[in-house]
Structure 1
Amino acid sequence: MNEYKGIYLAFLTAIISGFAIFLNKFAVSAWSNSSVFTAAKNLIAAAFLVSLIFLLRKLPELKTLSKKQWLLLAAIGLIGGSVPFLLFFRGLTLTLASSAAFIQKTLFIWVALMALPFLKEKISSLQFLALGIILVGIYLLKPLGNFRFGYGELLILLATFLWAIESIIAKFALRNISALTVGSARMFFGSFFLLFYLFLAGDLGQLFVFSWIKIEWLIISGAVLFGYVFAWYSALKFAPATVVSAILVIAAPITLLLDSIFVTHRLATLPLIPMVMITIGVLFFTKFLARFKLFLQKKFHYDRRIADVC
């Protein structure tokens, strides 16, 4: 049952991610420095997560963590919550958005390659086929055109690779630590490293140059990031990393749909075939239909037993 919970949370994460990518296009435009925006947004998300720790009275858990676990959480903050953001946004200024989106969406491939040896997760031949379908769907979603692998593409690939490593490390941390604590640590330590980077770059003062439009977008993007991080780590807690990362690809069609509705107003030209390919690939890889059927059978059997007793 816990794995079902993880899968449903992964779909929720994908939905939140789809909205987050769409909203961040507008939010980042209010800032002249993407690194400053990233740090500010992460600070807001960290504040929400830490507040939730106090609200749910999870503070005693922090006192039980060993030095090794704290180092693991700090590594997650560095590898997942700071460095890849800097690499990604820097790379985004040096390459086409379509190239960046394609490279970043290959996250599930890198997670799968790492999860096999390190987490001992198993992938069947049918699931490998599903991964191929998803990859082709991503490519067709926004054709790359004259793609070339340069410095910008390398930075985005490195960021994606680091996020994949973070997912593997997080799976180890989540064995004995709650998802809320891991997510909070990721944003807390990540924000600390980002602030340190801004200090070295001489951009720390820009954090305190506010306008109402900046504050509005910060609260919105920070709240969305809070929901994403909490849902993502909760999904990783209960479901395999390969499954969770594959489901996250659903975010791409969601972002494209939102863009078509609210920006381009060109719903008729939506690439339906790639969107369907991605959806089918994800459903096959996660064995979602079979899992859902089994879930309904168990629920129906349980409800029938209750009815018989009554």
Structure 2
Amino acid sequence: MKHTVLLALLAAVISGISIYVNSLFVSGADPLAFVLVRNALVAALLFAGILVFRGLPYFRLPLSDWKKLIVVGIVGGGIPFVLFFTGLRETGGVAGNIINKSLFLWVTMLAYISLKEKPKPAALAALAFLAAGTFAGSGIMDLKPGRGLFMVLAATMIWSVEYILAKRTLKTVPVTLLAFGRMLFGLPVLVVWSAFRGTLTAPVGIMPQFLLPVALSGFLLALFMVSWYGALRRSPAYLVSGLLTVSPAVSVFAAAGFSGKPVTGNFWSIGLLAAGAILITVSALRRPSVHES
């Protein structure tokens, strides 16, 4: 359990750094074109890594497992990206990110229903701290219903379903192959939507100055998925999704560290997130088995 908790924390750190890197370099690129190129690059990186370190026989899975990979790819790496970025254009980045931060709440509810995960009181208290830290001063009460907002909410809920599908798929499919499948089988959805929008050639038009950021973002995403799925394989879904809520706080410190400027932000929010992360980590390390009951 100790190692899987560390993997989840590593995934949170990588995600936080990725948030900072993406905000710094790719604000001038078409988001969906950026995601399409990046996800294709990640699929290629994972394929090459598996081929070099595991060999071609590693890809020999039963047809039933390949079907699971296709579903995870469509549900995790395709449809929600389309909904999220389309909705983001209509509702704005601030409102969209507030909704997306609710992911761990949906995961916790779905995991309770479908995976029979039952967090103990200490874990529930930690989740309460994380929720308070996530939404403190976020302006959630000022959100106005609209098509864009509902699209972002739909994307968030679909990503929560991915947690459940991935958790079940990881019983028979290796972590790296699941990460590869998520990227590979999500690509057709992104391509079809880009063609529908008439922006299929947009990835080709990504300017040279974005190539390095795309490569860096892709490398970080590959590391994130391997860490995330590695943690999810042996830890409850609510625990992994809960720890990932500290990613925005990590990005705040990453921004301060790389820019040399003082840390800025909602310190109440950061403090609550830190308290929740510590409490849920301690709760997990004291847990005797993979699933609480």
TM-score, length-scaled by structure 1: 0.86
Aligned residues: 288
Query: Which structure has the larger Rg?
Result: 1
Q: Which amino acid aligns with 2:126?
A: A
Deviations 1:113-172 (Å, cap 9, x if unpaired)?
A: 111121121212332232122111111153446322322221111111111100100011
Contact kept, 8 Å, 1:141 with 1:275, in 2: the verdict is no
The question of 1:286 aligning with 2:269 is answered no
Q: Which residue of 2 aligns with 1:56?
A: 53
Gaps of 5+ in 1: 295-310
Deviations 1:51-80 (Å, cap 9, x if unpaired)?
A: 1110112532321x2222111110111110
Q: Which residue of 1 aligns with 2:291?
A: none
Q: Which residues of 2 match residues 107-186 of structure 1 at below 5 A? A: 107-140=103-136, 142-144=138-140, 146-186=142-182
> Measured at CA, do residues 94 and 140 of structure 1 come closer, stay the same or move farther in structure 2, by a change above 3 Å?
same
Q: Which residues of 2 match residues 79-98 of structure 1 at below 5 A? A: 79-98=75-94
Instruction: Give the CA deviation at 1:111.
Output: 0.8
Q: Which amino acid aligns with 2:84?
A: F
> Measured at CA, do residues 177 and 290 of structure 1 come closer, stay the same or move farther in structure 2, by a change above 3 Å?
closer
Instruction: Give the CA deviation at 1:99.
Output: 2.3
Q: Which residue of 2 aligns with 1:214?
A: 210
Contact kept, 8 Å, 1:257 with 1:270, in 2: the verdict is no
The question of 1:202 aligning with 2:202 is answered no
Moved more, 136-145 or 81-90: 136-145
> Measured at CA, do residues 230 and 151 of structure 1 come closer, stay the same or move farther in structure 2, by a change above 3 Å?
same
Instruction: Give the CA deviation at 1:87.
Output: 1.3
SS in 1 for 2:241: helix
Q: Which residue of 2 aligns with 1:275?
A: 270
Contact kept, 8 Å, 1:260 with 1:270, in 2: the verdict is no
Task: Give the alignment's Cα RMSD to 1 decimal.
Answer: 2.2
CA distance in 2, matches of 1:210, 1:66: 38
Contact kept, 8 Å, 1:84 with 1:163, in 2: the verdict is yes
Contact kept, 8 Å, 1:10 with 1:248, in 2: the verdict is yes
CA distance in 2, matches of 1:251, 1:81: 20
TM-score, length-scaled by structure 2: 0.90
> Measured at CA, do residues 141 and 266 of structure 1 come closer, stay the same or move farther in structure 2, by a change above 3 Å?
farther
Q: Which amino acid aligns with 1:61?
A: Y
> Measured at CA, do residues 53 and 133 of structure 1 come closer, stay the same or move farther in structure 2, by a change above 3 Å?
same
Q: Which residues of 2 match residues 8-19 of structure 1 at below 5 A? A: 8-19=6-17
Contact kept, 8 Å, 2:2 with 2:285, in 1: the verdict is no
Q: Which residue of 2 aligns with 1:21?
A: 19
Deviations 1:238-257 (Å, cap 9, x if unpaired)?
A: 21111111110110111123
CA distance in 1, matches of 2:25, 2:247: 18
Q: Which amino acid aligns with 2:145?
A: F
